[in-house]
Structure formats: C-alpha cells, structure tokens
A and B are shown apart, each in its own frame.
Chain A
Amino acid sequence: MKRYDAIVIGGGHNGLVTAAYLARAKKSVLVLERRPRVGGAAITEEIFPGFKFTMFSYVVSLLRPEIIRDLDLPKHGLHILPLESTVTPMENGDYLAAWGDHDETRRELYRHSPRDAEAYDEYGRLMHFMAQAVKPILGMVPPDPTSFAPGDLAGLLKLGKHFRGLGGERLHALVKLMTMSSADFLDEWFETDVLKATKSASGIIGTFLGPRSPGTAYVLLHHYMGELDGVFRAWGFAKGGTGAVSEAIASAARSFGAEIRCDAGVSKVLVRNGRATGVVLESGDELSAGIVVSSLDPRRTFLQLLDSNELPAEFVADIKRFKFRGSSGKVNLALDLLPSFTCMPGIGRQHRGAFSISPSLDYVERAYDDAKYGEFSRRPYMDIVFPSMIDPGMAPPGKHVMSIFVQYAPYHLNGGWTDAKREAFGDAVVNTVESFAPGFTSKILHRQVITPLDIEKITGLSEGNIFAGELALHQLFFLRPAPGWAKFATPVRGFYQAGSGTHPGGGIMGASGRLAAMRILKDRA
C-alpha cells in the first residue's frame, strides 16, 4: 500500500491550498474529499438545467494574492472580475449607491450629507492605514502569550513593536475597531443612517451579532484589505463562481503532483502512541501517511475524527466551548428576467454590482433581534448579486441567476428547521425583495433555499457557520480555535489543522491553509 507524506482531510479551498503548497515542496500528498467534487463551501453547481449557482459563498474578496501568485492560479483558470457597485435601496424609495469611481461616489454621498461625503474620504484613509496595520498579523503565526518559549516571546515582542510602530492615532483606532460595535464606530464618523447601515452590514456577516453588538467593527476593516494588494476594489466575483476558485486550486495542486480523491469521506484519524499515522475511510479502507492534516472545522476535526482520550481534557473542553452558531442562509434563484428596483428603476449597470438590503441600522438590528430569540428574520438583511450579469456563462442566454445571502437564519431555530420552515424562510426573503422590487416574484423560475442546517448537512460545516467558527474577538488570533493550539499543530503529533477554524480564518482567503502548510514544512525541514 502506498504511504503518503501527507493526507489532507477535506477538499475545501483551505485543504486544497495546504495540499498544493505541500505538493509544491515535493511532498507526496493525498486530498480526501467526502463529496463527489472538491470545493467544500466554495462550489458551483448546476442546480436547475442551464442555471449555475455558487451554492454557498458567493464573492471572493480576500483570497490572498500571494496564493494566486505562488500557485499560478490564473494559469489554472482563475479569473476574478470586479463587482462594481453597491446599491442600498431605502424604505422611502430613495437609495444610497457606492460606485467604482471616487468622484461619483462622493457626489452620491454628498446628496445624502455633504459632511459625510468628506468624512467618507477621511474614514477611507484611516481604514486603509488600519488594514495595512492588520495585514502582517493575518500573515503571521500567532504567538502564544501564555508560553515562555523563546519563539513565542520573540513573536510577542515583534507584535508589540509592530503595534507601537503604528503611532498613537492608528493604535487607538485599532483598539476601537477591535472592541466597538460597528454602529458605534460608524457613529463617530457619519450621520447618514443608511450609510451606517450598509457599512455595518459588512460587520455582521457570518456572526451571530447585530450592528450594535461590540466586536463587529473589526470586520469593517476587511473591506479595505483587498486594496492593499494593488487590487482596485476589494470585492470580486470569480468567473465560473466560487467553485472555479476551488477547481483552480485543485488543478494547481494536481500540477504539483498532489492526488485528489473524491467520494472518500474520512471517519477516523489513526493515532498510535500519540502520533497520527493515517486515516480510516468511511469505506473502511485504511491509508497511512507521515502527517495528517484536517481542514474540517475544529469541532469535527477534534471531536469526530479523534477519540477524546487522545486529547487533553482541557483542550476538549475548549473545543466544545468554541462557538459556531450559524446565522446565515442563502437563497438561489433562477430568473426569467432581471428585477427592477423601485429606487433605481430599469435594468442597468446597478445589476453588475451588489444590492444590499440594509435600509437602516434599526432594520438590521431588528433582523438580529428575531434571531436572538430563535426565529429567522422576518425582514432579513440581504446581500444580492446577479452572477450571470458578470459571467454570462452562469445562466442560459437572456436568463439570469440571483444569489441572495441572507441573515439572520439561526441554526438553532425554535422548534428546529423543517421543510415548511425552510419554505417560510424562503418566502420571507422573496417577499422582502418584492417590497423593494415589485413584480420580482413573477420572474422567478426556480428557487433553492439553503438554511444553516442544510449548509451543515451538505458541507459538514458545524452548525452551518460559514467561517468554520464564529469570527468573534475571543475566538481570534491565539485563541483560534483554542488557547495554546493556534499554531496549526494539535496535541496529537503529526496531526495538523488547516481550516478556516484556525487563524486567521474566514472567507475565501486561503490564509489558514497556507500558514498551515508553512508550519508543516518548517516542522518537517
């Protein structure tokens, strides 16, 4: 039987990135994917004949450019197209739009508030600085502040120096971003409610928090990360959907010699004398490897693939405490015609960008209130894109696909999710869109509603959390996924973690997978 240098469990984008980097370093690598195709939550499927959907994740914003360069992804078919605008319809029939052009956006903001138009530029500059300040942290292996190891002390010192190098103003802004609610943070800058609403909405994605919950300001930064890498705008859409991103990474991994096996779910990691030696497949087959890497979320990695007695009790308790609380759903629609929104009638360039259904801070906060007490939002926050407007290959000629990211849909719904509840949730989404775009419902050809429970069932992400674990302050950095074990190694020797549930986590970023591969290669050097 062939023995691999490394087996990577899970063919999501992070697992594939790890595999590609390991293979690039001349290791023999096998990726095991439970489903018939790679991609995990980043998949494109033709759900209705001729209509392709990016099933779960829908935009590519944070995919690390060094990964694109290192793995030469464009050669393997990756093409990220810009998402040009965001239009936020308001309940009074007006709108707020952010366009690709600075002057145009400024003029639009000026219409709402001359002062906010100026504050927006200043805010943008500060956030740009801040993104620059945080970027090196995303790229570093988090030092453990509880450890006295020289490496950790040096890491802490480096971190301290980095922060002090920012200077007072930016350091204070960073503290504010890490601790404040997005609503409070934005209150310090702007007076236009709809502007604060649409900005704060980006701070709640994937969390079980509302715009007024402390800790949501940090995610505001993510919007500015992309720009740093010379990308003109942060938000993009991959040609062929996010599945194409996974396919490109898989193709790159194969080109380096990695083997990828689908329909090959792993049931257990084999451990002998505290050391991982291989895996057992659901089919019962055993495969052996020098190292085993799990890109599944921490709960499945440690509580499902391993026996608890292989792990320290304290660590198991920490992992059990790690919060998932999936809060988002997805509605995918096949459309006969594009909808016309009351605030900006007709079909036009607005359909090449996103529509954000976040008309006011109170609207988004009330959506959260529903979820807090175990109901899906009656009028949810939604982020809508029409992928077929950017990539015509996604739908039959003249027809369109519409991707609606919806929050909040709590995993722990009162009484649990049923088929009827799923459809009721879908109706709430469609009815809310209808209120901003009358006549929209009649254009729907097919509808697919995905709840957090569906996300869990299909992708395996625990509680349907799209970030493989909530991106909350106490679950970040050296606490992700557990104190002392945030450096991709695990208490089991030769067993590593590489998913979004590790630092830095979240989004189609690939950083966790890359850092994990670096760590493994360093350990094996």
Chain B
Amino acid sequence: MKYDAIVIGAGANGLVTAHYLARAGKRVVVVEQRQAVDPSADIGWVPPRVIRDLGLRNLRLEQPDPWLTVPLDGGGTLELSRDVGRSADAIRRLSPADAAKWPEFCARMRTLAGVLEKLYLVPAPDIETRDPRELARIVGLGLYVRRLGKQAVIDLARILPMSIAELLDDWFENDALKGALGALGIWHLKQGPRSGGTAFNFLHHHVGSAAGVFRPPRSNITAALAAKPGVEIRRGARATVLAKNGRASGVVLENSGETIEAPLVVSSAPPRATLQPLAIELYPDFARAVSNIKARGVVARGTLTLAQPPAYSTLCIAPSLDYLERAYDDAKYGKDSTAPYVEVQRTDGRVEVHVQFVPPGTHGGLAERVAQILEVRPNQVTLQPAEESLYHGELTLDQILFMRPVPGWSRYRTPIEGLYLCGSGTHPGGGIPGAAGRNAAREIL
C-alpha cells in the first residue's frame, strides 16, 4: 500500500488533519501508539467549522448546567450556571457588589475571547512577512479589533499580559468566586495566579464558551473522528520520523522496525519528541529553540471511583487566589502542592480528577491528600502525574501565535521538507481540539 501522507498520533488534532487531507483525495495512514481511543483529552472548544467540514454528526457536546460547583468555607456551595442572571443571583449571597459586576465581566471577557477565536482559526499572523496578502490580513485583524471599540483594544493590551489575580481583584472581592475563576487562569500552567500572562490563559480557555461559562466544554471528538471512515488508523506502534539530507521520507515503527514511506509526514506528537531525534538534520539554533520549549508537567490527572455518580457536574476546590498561589509556591521549588487545586468532573460515565500542582518527581502521599480534600478513601483515587505539559508547550505569552511551537515556525512547517506539525504544540495550542489540526491541513494543502 502506498500512502500520500502519514499522520503521527490519533488524537483529535492528528485525526482532524488526516481527515482534511483524505477529503482532498490523499491516501492517509494514521499511526498511534495507544491501543484504544483516549477520551481524557477531549476538553475544549471544537470549532464549528471542523464539525461542519468533516460532517461530525455523531459529535456530542456536553453542556452541563450548572457548570461549576464550589464548596464554601462555612458550608453550602456556590453554583455557577449557564444563565448569567442565575449565576449573579448565586453570587449575590456571597457579595452583592460582585453580583452587580458579574454581567459586565462576562460580556467583556466574551468579547476578548471572541478576538482569540478569530485568531485561532487561521494560521498565526506572520509579522516578519513582506507578502502583501499576509500584510493585508494582519491589517485586517487589527481593524477587526479596533472596530470592537476602544475599550476592547485597551482591554486586550492591558489584560493579556496581566495576572489573573490582578484582573479578578480589579473586578471582584469574594475569595471563593475569585479562586474558582482564577483556577482557569493557571490551568495546565506552571504559574500561579499572580503571574503575568495568566489572564491570557484564562481567556484562552474561555474561547468557544457562552458568556458567563468559564470552564472549557467537553465532547467525544476523538471517538467521533476515530469512528469516521476515510483514513486508516494503525494502533499500538510508536513511530519515529525518517529524514535524510533535509527531507522526510516516512516513519519507522518502534516495535516491529517496519518502515512506512510517504512524501508527507505530519506529526501531532509534541514538537520536541518529533524533532529531537532528528537533531542531526537540524541547524543548532533551531534545535536549541525546540529544546527550549517550556512544557513542564504540573498536573496529575486520573479518575475517582464513586459508588454513585455525584450530583455536581464539576466540583472546584480552589477556595481563594492565595490558596492557588501557595499551591504554586510548592511547585516552584519542585514539590507537590501541600494543598493542591483539585477539580472533579463527571463526564460520559466517568469521574475525572485534575490535580495541580504536581511537578515531576516523587509524589509521596499525593493520592491521600487529594482523597482527604475530596473526603473519599485514598483507594478511590487514581492519579497519573504528567512529566510534560498536556499541551505540548505551556500557553504562556512567549509561546503563542507566531512564537509557537518555536519562534518563526508557526506555519506548521519544519526545516525538514515534507515534515509538518499539527498538534497542540502548534498554534493555537491545547484545549481547542481540532483547531491546530485544521490549520495545519489547510497550510499543507
């Protein structure tokens, strides 16, 4: 069998690229090291264009309501609903001032997330370009933002580099509310809520959500893509790219040593894992940029075994910004958070747990601490700490847009001819399954 293209990795981005390429008439094979579909990464906004283009009719988007349940110090909970008014009512019991500001906060954040959505469905602007079409596109993006009004421009310039703590302190006074919102700012980041750029991370994870919903949606995107015919998927084999004299020629499968040839190889694996074995083919400055990608693992994810499904859809343990900051302090010195940020989510018959911060290292007593926080027995909690960031590159301001995956190489290409990248490590990054995959496929075609 001869292939036109090989895609490494059968996650959402890899499969989206594969299906777009197949749709354009290419014979595509996807090689995936896992045996089964992994649904745990199906968090985030699936761009409607992807759903429409690929005809993903059996895609299920979960829209839990209320979307967040926050246990309160003195007992009781704060429940945040999809309806802005209902959330405001709930917040009013904690702080009338915060409740009054809630609707405007939601609207302002929604506008800014809208700007990001616009940027995310196209390749990152190439600010070095001399090409008049690209220049026109950049000017167009600029004009689009300015048409949103003066406030949007100021917000964008001021809020993106801000810390989520500063942003929330500007708006709200209640610790529980700020903790619950602030958690999204540090989501999958080795930063605390007082670190600059966490306001951007907050907005990044707000894309695709309705105003007033500050948790990324879940779906069954990977399974839906895997079930769709049109591309061949070969599972259980880890693939390494074959390249010589600056050209990719295919992949070799790790276990069998089997070689698959194709003129086009697209990798949705982390950029570093894809490119580092090819170092001898790369100029050292590029190789160094790849090795400098920050992708520090700080999250342990896993499941919670409960006798019966919980009443909440998502439970957030992040009682205050200081709580999150102290959790981060431990991680700065390479230790697990003594009191970690824990979030529990019920989805598709499972109960998933997100624990942050858990930097690489030994994790003595972590499950016990999490169990204690959740008031369950330790054997009900299984956790897998991640060595590397789930997003293949942290979403910090120096690693987004034209800086992602490495500065100047945001167009999904690599210095190796015929080798492309399409995973979370590329623009627009993790938490938006299919966006990078679609952008990459369009660049390739």
A interface, CB within 8 angstroms of B: 145-146, 148, 163-164, 167-169, 171-172, 175-176, 178-181, 184, 188, 209, 212-215, 321, 323, 362, 365, 369, 372-373, 472-474, 478-479, 483-484
Contact = CB atoms under 8 A, between A and B. Distances in A.
B128 A168 contact: yes
Contacts of B411: none
A474 B398 contact: no
B157 A479 contact: yes
Most chain-B CB neighbours within 10 Å: which of A168, A179, A215? A179
Interface string B374-402: 00000000000000000000001110000
Given A146-B154, A214-B396, A172 B407 contact: yes
Interface string B160-203: 01100010001000000000000000000001001111000000
A310 B153 CA distance: 25
A214 B294 contact: no
Interface residue tally of chain B, by bracket? 20 to 34
Interface of B: 127-128, 146, 150, 153-154, 157-159, 161-162, 166, 170, 191, 194-197, 292, 294, 322, 325, 329, 332-333, 396-398, 403, 407-408
Contact of B196 (A163, A188, A215): A215
A214 B325 contact: no
A239 B188 CA distance: 51
B127 A171 contact: yes
B396 A479 contact: no
Nearest to B401: A175
A354 B40 CA distance: 53
Given A146-B154, A180-B396, A369 B329 contact: yes
A163 B329 CA distance: 36
Contacts of B294: 184
Contact of B194 (A145, A176, A213, A473): A213
Given A214-B195, A214-B396, A214-B397, A483 B403 contact: no
7 nearest A-B pairs in the assembled complex, by CB-CB distance: A172-B407, A179-B397, A214-B196, A473-B161, A215-B196, A483-B154, A146-B150
Contacts of A372: 194, 325
A372 B321 CA distance: 12
B78 to A, nearest CB: 25
B398 A479 contact: no
B408 A172 contact: yes
Contacts of B194: 213, 372
Contacts of A373: 322
A484 to B, nearest CB: 8
22 contacts: A145-B153, A146-B150, A146-B153, A146-B154, A164-B127, A168-B128, A168-B408, A169-B407, A172-B403, A176-B398, A176-B407, A179-B161, A179-B398, A180-B397, A184-B398, A209-B196, A212-B332, A323-B166, A472-B161, A473-B196, A483-B158, A484-B154
Contacts of B196: 179, 209, 213-215, 472-474
A474 B322 CA distance: 22
A145 B332 CA distance: 37
Contacts of B154: 146, 479, 483-484
B261 to A, nearest CB: 33
A171 B150 CA distance: 27
Contacts of A146: 146, 150, 153-154
Contacts of A362: 332-333
Nearest to B394: A184
Nearest to B197: A214
A474 B408 contact: no
A266 B162 CA distance: 35
A176 B197 CA distance: 12
Nearest to B294: A184
Given A146-B146, A179-B397, A180-B396, A483 B128 contact: no
B128 A164 contact: yes
Contact of A163 (B127, B146, B157, B292): B127
Q: What is the interface of chain A mostly: helix, strand, loop, or mixed?
A: helix
A483 B166 CA distance: 17
Contacts of B292: 188
Contacts of A169: 407-408
A474 B158 contact: yes
Contacts of A472: 161, 196
Contacts of B332: 212, 362, 365
A277 B35 CA distance: 79
Most chain-A CB neighbours within 10 Å: which of B166, B196, B325, B408? B196
Contacts of B128: 164, 167-168, 171
Given A171-B127, A180-B396, A474-B159, 10 more contacts: A145-B146, A146-B154, A167-B128, A169-B408, A179-B398, A212-B195, A214-B195, A214-B197, A323-B166, A474-B161
Contact of B195 (A213, A369, A479): A213
Contacts of B158: 474, 479, 483
A169 B127 CA distance: 12
Contacts of B162: 474
A478 B127 contact: no
A321 B170 CA distance: 8
A172 B161 CA distance: 16
A176 B400 CA distance: 11
A474 B162 CA distance: 7
Contacts of A473: 161, 196
A460 to B, nearest CB: 25
A478 B397 CA distance: 19
B166 to A, nearest CB: 8
A304 to B, nearest CB: 22
Nearest to A473: B161
Contacts of B397: 175, 178-180, 214
A327 B196 CA distance: 17
Contact of B157 (A145, A184, A365, A369): A145
Contacts of A212: 195, 332
A180 B398 CA distance: 6
A179 B157 CA distance: 13
Contacts of B127: 163-164, 171
Nearest to B129: A164
B157 A474 contact: yes
Contact of B398 (A168, A171, A175, A478): A175
Contacts of A184: 294, 398
Contact of B403 (A148, A175, A181, A478): A175
Contacts of B195: 181, 212-214
B183 to A, nearest CB: 18
B197 A179 contact: yes
B119 to A, nearest CB: 15
A167 B195 CA distance: 29
Nearest to A173: B407
B286 to A, nearest CB: 11
Most chain-A CB neighbours within 10 Å: which of B150, B396, B398? B398
A145 B161 CA distance: 16
A473 B200 CA distance: 13
A483 B159 CA distance: 12
Contact of A179 (B159, B333, B396): B396
B407 A478 contact: no
Contacts of A171: 127-128
A369 B332 CA distance: 10
Nearest to A208: B194
A365 to B, nearest CB: 6
B186 to A, nearest CB: 12
A170 to B, nearest CB: 10
A213 B154 CA distance: 23
Contacts of B146: 145-146, 148
Contact of A214 (B157, B166, B191, B333): B191
Given A164-B128, A369-B329, A372-B325, A215 B161 contact: yes
A179 B127 CA distance: 17
Contacts of B191: 214
Most chain-A CB neighbours within 10 Å: which of B332, B333, B403? B332
Contacts of A213: 194-196
A50 B85 CA distance: 69
